């Protein structure tokens, strides 16, 4: 059985959601956030102290979108994967990487300087700048949804939607969602209505 180390609201929601959608048996280890501060014993498991941390026998992984890709590759076939012969394969991979490198990264700066740092070390200018950076990078997503589609690629729900969906859920928690377009708001509502997402959220 695979094991996922998870904190409520963290990027580990991506693989947790994917596990629920695929139906893979797993063990969930819940930790306080950030675990490197509040669960120092976790450093003996993952020296980085970061979440997610995923274990499948000798396989150990720390990157949320990569874990999702691993799951659909190993535990398929599944419609959550887009295959190399499909026309949207390149777009599928791009959204997986875009989700963290472009959309989640600036939000981690906002999170750090609004909630994690002591009051004296908080940086309102960094929060404003990186919040705006994130919102500006939503243009690609907004354009992809302009035809009213419910999912990003291949006319079906895939781990690309899980990866991007988490970035939007994080933005909600950081109060960055007030400038979401109507298309993005509707897309996120649809994702959160999925039973797989609701099961994952309940387990947090």
pLDDT digits (tens, 9 = 90+) for 105-118: 999 999 999 999 99
Q: What is the mean pLDDT of residues 94-121?
A: 96
> Could you tell me if 107 and 9 are in contact, meaning their C-beta atoms sit under 8 angstroms apart?
no
- Give residue 66's pLDDT band: very low, low, confident or very high (50, 70, 90): very high
Q: What is the mean pLDDT of residues 182-203?
A: 98
Closest to 50 (Cα-Cα) out of 67, 26, 73:
67
Please give the Cα distance from 112 to 110 (Å, whole number): 6
pLDDT given at position 126: 97
pLDDT digits (tens, 9 = 90+) for 23-48: 999 999 999 998 988 999 999 999 99
Question: What is the 3-state composition of the chain as percent helix, strand, coil, each rounded to the nearest 5?
Answer: 60, 10, 35
pLDDT given at position 36: 87
Please give the Cα distance from 151 to 160 (Å, whole number): 9
Please give the Cα distance from 84 to 114 (Å, whole number): 41
- How many residues in the chain? 204
Check: pTM over 0.85? Answer yes or no. Answer: yes
Bridge partners, residue 4, by sequence: 28, 54
Peptide bond into 34 cis (omega under 30): yes
Q: Which residue has the tokens 């020296």?
A: 47
């Amino acid at each position: 059985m695979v094991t996922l180390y998870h904190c409520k609201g963290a990027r580990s929601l991506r693989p947790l959601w994917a596990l629920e959608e695929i139906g893979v048996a797993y063990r969930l280890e819940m930790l306080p956030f950030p675990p490197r501060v509040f669960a120092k014993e976790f450093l003996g498991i993952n020296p980085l102290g970061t979440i997610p941390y995923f274990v499948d026998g000798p396989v150990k992984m720390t990157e949320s979108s990569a874990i999702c890709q691993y799951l659909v590759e190993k535990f398929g076939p599944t419609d959550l994967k887009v295959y190399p012969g499909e026309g949207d394969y390149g777009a599928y991979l791009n959204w997986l990487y875009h989700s963290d490198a472009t959309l989640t990264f600036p939000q981690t700066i906002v999170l750090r300087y609004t909630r994690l740092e002591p009051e004296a070390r908080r940086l309102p200018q960094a929060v404003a700048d990186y919040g705006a950076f994130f919102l500006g990078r939503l243009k690609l997503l907004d354009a992809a949804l302009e035809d009213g589609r419910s999912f990003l690629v291949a006319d079906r729900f895939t781990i690309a939607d899980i990866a991007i969906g988490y970035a939007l859920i994080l933005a909600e928690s950081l109060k960055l969602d007030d400038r979401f377009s109507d298309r993005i708001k509707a897309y996120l509502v649809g994702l959160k209505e999925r039973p797989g997402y609701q099961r994952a959220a309940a387990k947090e």
